[in-house]
Structure 1
Amino acid sequence: MEIAELSRGMDTIWVVLTAAMILLMEGGFALLEAGFVRQKNAVSIIMKVFVDISFGALVFYFMGFAIMYGKDAGGLIGTTGFWMDGDLSHLQLNISTDTYWLFQCAFVIAVISIVSGAVAERIHFRAYIVYTILMTGLIYPISGHWIWSPSGWLAKLGMIDFAGSAAIHALGGFAALAAALFLGPRIGRFGADGRTNIVPPSNLPLASVGAFILWFGWFGFNSGSTLSATNENIGHIAVTTMLASAAGCAACILFTLFRYQKADPPMAINGALAGLVGITAGCAFVSDGAAILIGAVSGIVMILASERLEKHRVDDPVGAFAVHGISGSIGTLAVGLFALPGSAAHTGLFYGGGWYLLGVQALGLAVVAVWGFALTWGALKLIQWFKPVRVSRDDELIGLDVGIHGVPAYNQEHDFLDVDKLRSN
């Protein structure tokens, strides 16, 4: 009995600490996105992150967790556990439901933060709040139930997504694509003659620090998904996470260096993140060599996808779709190819497991991608009926910091500012 209690206590500490690491990633999102957008929109990025954390946590507590992990009859949607009350014994956890909720809350906040970067500099703050409620309360929990709930229909088919390449990143990435398309590009981003105008990042050192924080938090993201402090696989998960992220970053540095004769800093940043996204599904099930390959492929394809989006005049200020949607797709499918024998219920194609797992992974990815895109488009369309989703032209030109929030991010020249005067310029 004492050993069981000790195990439960250690698991609780482990899950709470890794949940805190994942929550710290919101600081990474804030710095990364603020560094990638223009100075006049830095405050608006920070405010969206505060919305992600505050509204996301509350909505997930009231209803999102129940829809995602509550009991159900048909594998589609949970129906118990609203307000964290009711029978959740079917989860068979070695930690308390509260502890598990905290860990999953950190995940749901990360999902909505993916979308925030794609809509930067032009989404209306009030519309973003409503969308955050819909994403954290319905869109993510329902598809998450299919993959991660014990009774989810994709889980029953055998889909493997250890820490969320599909459930979190592909969903968030395709939702980000839908939002970027719905809003349209920023004013002046693409010329009438077809020319593409580059919007330089306002602060690359800031964005780099944000990436480093995300990189750090990802070890909580992946290793924490064991939900056990004594799981012997924690070390391997951490190693594959490190190798994939390093390979993604290195591949992007070399690719841009040889292609453009200059190593591209934003692509190096996003390359590391692409590698992290790519390994998230299979970090517990693939070899070190496969992790390096997954990371490198994710990084290079991310660059190609970013270029393709630009050619099609899709404005994604931080590369949310290329990093999360594309790399999440690669990582999800890679499990069907590289899953080691004995590591999961099904073995990957390259290790003699046949086509079944790859087929299930492809099906799950397609469902999640369509779900994230369609529900986001529908949600924004619904919001548009009541409130503008995009800010006015004047507010966009002035910058959302002053135009929407009434305060600039940086004040180096004046002790006091006349906001009304700033808005009139």
Structure 2
Amino acid sequence: MTLMTRRSALTLGLSGAAMMAMARPANALVQITVSGGNFTPLPIAIPNFASADPSFGAEVAQIVRNNLVGSGLFRLVDPAGYPSQVGDPNAPPDFNAWRATGADAVVMADANNAGGQIQSSLRLWDTTAAQQVTGKAYGAPADSWRRIAHIASDAIYSGLTGETGYFDTRVVYVAESGPKANRVKRLAIMDQDGANNRILTDGRLATITPRISPDGTRVAYMTFDGPNASGIFILNLATGQTQSIGQYGQMSFAPRFSPDGQRLVFSVTQGAATNLYALPLAGGQPTALTSGSAIDTSPSFSPDGQRIVFESDRGGRPQIYVMSAAGGGAERISYGDGAYSTPVWSPKGDLIAFTRQSGGQFSIGTMNPDGSGERILATSFHAEGPTWAPNGRVLMFFRDPGGNDGPRLYSIDVWGRAEQRVPTEGFASDPAWSPLLA
């Protein structure tokens, strides 16, 4: 029995070429359908996690609730009406009682500290079918206990949608502080929900455009203090050590790792021209991927490593082009009004996110890799720098309202729904989303 014809089906409104059905594996009990104009989040109940420390169990459960509701796909059933305030993963729930609350799914889980390790077990139940959707046992060191909540969130998300989750991840970004005319820009890293914020660089040189390696262990970024004190560096997140990739041309910038983590592609400025180069990280010299008098920048690999999408003004104003990862001829794929920039290939390979500037406004959007199906997700005075969650269904970007205020981070899903501000300790820009943590 499936839920695809019941009220628990999730309906996401799109139309025409923008319709992207999320495949439902045989073991997924909820199908996310893409049709019509209505959107009905799945009602879900999440009691507190059973724990020897009840306040800890309540705190873990609240993080799970925040994650799932923040995704826009789920609606939390009011805990005040739960037949039990604490879940028991060791026994089937009273399905009649939970159905009476209006919940189509209920989570039963525990979390306890065992010798410096937080151990947790979770069962996700379909209340109408009266059967288990998924079960999981997992752990995390006590000093990173929030991961318990994020791993649980991913298990629930995956079990109900058939899609990979994105909650057990981190985001590297540029933390900005100080007056606007002389703002300090330092690298920082945090959990995807804004917790566990940590500064990575000292701010003596401005840092911009951080990009995380596919295995999540390194960050490539650019430092800037005028043309003679600028360059690309790679930071090892485990050791804190940095490595310069070398000096090429007048300026090197906009780095991005290849999907296998073995190469770095970036822009090099020589005279009036800026071209793309690829550098093997094991050693060697960079190889030119483009040539000419245009400004080619913001490269991003396709997930299979076979193609690169990039920004170029070779046609008169910045537009998006796609070419082989080995270089050569490029095909223009953006044809809307205005200028296009910062293209980023989705981890699923089905979409390319971009920034579009038109009519004095900035927009974050997506298009298919052939340029069709363009969809604008968010528009404001200044919105820029999209980055993909590892499941390819959520984007993060930064928005700057101008004036004396500063940039802040926001997330939004690929249907243009569930936009929310991501909390940071100060101004923030240039987000880069990590893969799922191991």
Q: So what's the TM-score if we normalise by structure 1?
A: 0.25
Q: Which has the higher contact order (CA 8 A, sep 6+)?
A: 1
Bigger share in helix: 1
Whose Rg is larger? 2
